[in-house]
Amino acid sequence: MTHVSIKELTKVYPGATTPSLDRLSLEIPTGELTALLGPSGCGKTTTMKMIAGLLEPTSGDVTFDGRSVLRDKPEDRGVVMVFQNYLLFPYMSVADNVGFGLKMRKKDPAEIKRRVGEMLELVKLPDLGDRKPSALSGGQQQRVALARALIVQPNVLLLDEPLSNLDAHLRFEMRDLIRSLQQEMGITTIFVTHDQEEAVVLADRVALILDGQMKQYDRADVFYKRPIDEATARFFGGHNFIPGTSDGHVFDCALGKLSLPEGATTGAGKLTFRPENVRIGAGPDAQNALTSTIAEVIYLGTQTRLKLRVGETEVDAVVNPNEIESYAVGDTLPIHLPSATLWVI
């Protein structure tokens, strides 16, 4: 039950001229699951290591429930980190790996054995205690690593790219497992990932870090609906950025005058909307209706990606492949952009 707060955290590695992490501030409420999202080399893992005490910050502070932990040794912080490549001790059995933290705390062997049994049950690997890690699949190793971390009942759990080494079907299984264990135990959890899908799937809140600085810290859906700037929108798969001016209600641009949702910013800016929010047809009241020409068709199985041309402007759209009979290059396609899905940055 720990409220983690990161204040102006900065790390400049010896010999480096630019900071790997530049004044990152973040509040992670007790029991929440937060993602640090960003491309590789943006300072995510550096941040985790500083929270865990494995790396010393150049400046800034990390507090747990208001108390600075920078002077605490890593083993005294109550923070456990699960690494991306699991790092199970190869010469130990699965059970010894899981019981490692308790053994280091000099717990009674009988108690260790009992709790290791319970923990393996919890991660659904009850019969694998005697195996060596090398005899396990990637997904099983991941679960052992998780069990090894959770057995010491940490206040804060740090996960480094927890889903990225897993197959698609294992990802959802592991996601459910991590979420249910995390909710059950109420552990404040931070994980880092470069994959926006992983962040959205797993996290309560997402902190997007680009170039060592935090861009936006919000609930996952906000990044799709209300990105703070073009770089953020692009990171989340945004493609449509159309320059123009907004008066708060109408956006005037090459596509024409489009009506905006409540609360849109005013002045010069860029109109953005997600490809999947481009609708086929003129819409019920012909609001924001446009006529486009199909310039390119990419069939992706469950969806079809279209490059459309409205006058001189290119619009990216993702549509249901079965919504109309066929999509052919050169065809004219009426579309509309629901005003609730538009946003000005």
Partner 1 sequence: MEVGHLSDRTKIFLLLLPAMFIIVVLFFGGLMIGLMRSFNYMPVIGLTEPDLSAYISVFTDREFYLSFLLTFHIAFTSTVISSILAIGAALLLRRSFVGRSIVNFLFQLNLTVPHLVGAIGMLYLFSQSGSFARLAHEFGMIARPSDFPALVFDPYAIGIILQYVWKEIPFIGVIVLANMQSIGEDYESVARSLGASKWQTFRYVLLPLIFPGVLSASVMVFAFTFGAYEIPAILGANFPAALPVLAYRKYTDVDLAARPEAMAMAIVIALLSAVMIYFYVRYSRRRIRG
Smallest distance from partner 1 to CB 77, Å: 8
Nearer to partner 1 by C-beta: 158 or 260? 158
Nearer to partner 1 by C-beta: 88 or 207? 88
Smallest distance from partner 1 to CB 267, Å: 48
Render the burial of 20-44: b for 16+ CB within 10 Å, e for the rest.
bbbebebebeebbbbbbbbeeebbb
DSSP 153: -
- Chain residues binding partner 1 by CB under 8 A are 14, 49, 52-54, 73-75, 79-81, 83, 85, 87, 89-91, 100-101, 103-105, 148-149, 152, 158
CA distance 7 to 72: 17
Asked if 155 contacts 123 with a C-beta cutoff of 8 angstroms, the reply is no
Smallest distance from partner 1 to CB 105, Å: 6
Nearer to partner 1 by C-beta: 83 or 241? 83
Q: What distances in angstroms separate CA 209 from CA 19, 152, 321, 345, one per listed residue?
A: 13, 30, 34, 18
Residue showing tokens 């005899």? 135
Nearer to partner 1 by C-beta: 79 or 187? 79
Nearer to partner 1 by C-beta: 16 or 300? 16
- Of 247, 250, 201, nearest in space to 223 by CA: 201
CA distance 91 to 152: 21
User: Would the CA dihedral through 71, 149, 89, 191 be positive or negative?
Assistant: negative
Smallest distance from partner 1 to CB 214, Å: 24
Nearer to partner 1 by C-beta: 54 or 280? 54
DSSP 32-53: -EEEEE--TTSSHHHHHHHHHT
Nearer to partner 1 by C-beta: 28 or 258? 28
CA distance 328 to 326: 6
Nearer to partner 1 by C-beta: 73 or 169? 73
Smallest distance from partner 1 to CB 202, Å: 20
Smallest distance from partner 1 to CB 148, Å: 7
- Of 43, 1, 45, nearest in space to 22 by CA: 43
Smallest distance from partner 1 to CB 74, Å: 4
Smallest distance from partner 1 to CB 137, Å: 20
- Of 283, 259, 257, nearest in space to 335 by CA: 283
